[in-house]
Amino acid sequence: MAKPNVVTKQELLQAAQMCLAEKGIEKTTLKAVADKANVSQGTVFYHFRTKEQLMLELVQSLCDSSWQALQTSRGSVEEALEAAKERCDYNSAYHRLFFTSLAASLSLKPNRDRLGAMIRQENVYLSEVLAARWGMSPIRQISMEHWGILMNALIDGLAVQALLDEEFPKDAVFDALQHLFDYISSGVDS
C-alpha cells in the first residue's frame, strides 16, 4: 500500500534515479517512480507534471550535486576532468538522461531554456575553475568565458562519443585531455 503523500521532491528524484538504473529511460514512467517511492501516482504528478519535467529536474539535481562536490573540494581542472571521466561511459545513465532530456526539450521552449541555463551555469563554473588555475587566459584572443564554453563542449562531445562507442578509449582520451590542459597551462602557446 502506498504511504501517505509525505514525500519530498528529492526522495522522488532518488526513486527516479533508481528506476533509471533498473529499468532504463524508456521504462521509467511517473507510475514506475510512484511505485518505487511507494506513493500514489498523484503525488509524483503533483511534483512533476510530465516525464520530461521529471527528467529535467533529475538532470538539474545530478548537475547540482556534481558541481557542489567539486566546489567542496575546491574544484580544480584535474578534479573536473576526473569527474567528467567517471561519468563518461557507454552505459552512463547520467549522460543518457542528459542527452535524452536535451533532445526531448528542443521542442519545448521552457525546458529548452532551462537546459540552456544549466549549460550556461556549467560554462561559468568551468571558466572560474580555469581562471583560478591560470589567472588569465594563456591565449590573449580567447577569453576566460570562451575557455569555459570550449571545455564544456569538449567534455560533452567526449560523452557523446562514449555513449555511441563501446570501445571508446576513455582513459587514453582523458589522459590526452589532461596533457592538453597542462600544455596550455604552461603558457607555451601564449
Rounded to an integer, the average pLDDT of 163-178 is 95
Burial of 95 (0-12, 13-18, 19+ CB in 10 A): buried
Residue 51 has pLDDT above 90, yes or no: no
pLDDT, one tens digit per residue, over 99-139 is 877 777 778 888 888 888 989 998 998 898 888 888 899 99
Share of the chain above pLDDT 70, in %: 92
The fold of the 51-185 domain, in CATH, is: Tetracycline Repressor; domain 2 (1.10.357)
CATH 1.10.10.60 residue ranges of the chain are 1-49
Confidence of residue 75 (pLDDT cuts 50, 70, 90): low
**Other C-beta atoms within 10 Å of 76: how many?**
14
- DSSP code of residue 12: H
Q: Which residue has the higher pLDDT, 5 or 35?
A: 35
Give the three-class secondary structure for 56: helix
Residue 3 has pLDDT above 60, yes or no: no
Q: Which residue has the higher pLDDT, 58 or 31?
A: 31
CA dihedral (18, 21, 25, 30) in degrees, to 10, reads -10
Residue-averaged pLDDT of the chain? 85
Confidence of residue 188 (pLDDT cuts 50, 70, 90): very low
At the top level of CATH, the class of 1-49 is: mainly alpha
Burial of 30 (0-12, 13-18, 19+ CB in 10 A): buried
Taking the alpha carbons of 88, 91, 96, 97 in that order, is the dihedral positive or negative?
negative
Gyration radius (Cα) of the chain, Å: 19
Amino acid at 141: Q
Residue 18 confidence (pLDDT): 87
Highest mean pLDDT among 41-55, 100-114, 166-180: 166-180
CATH 1.10.357.10 residue ranges of the chain are 51-185
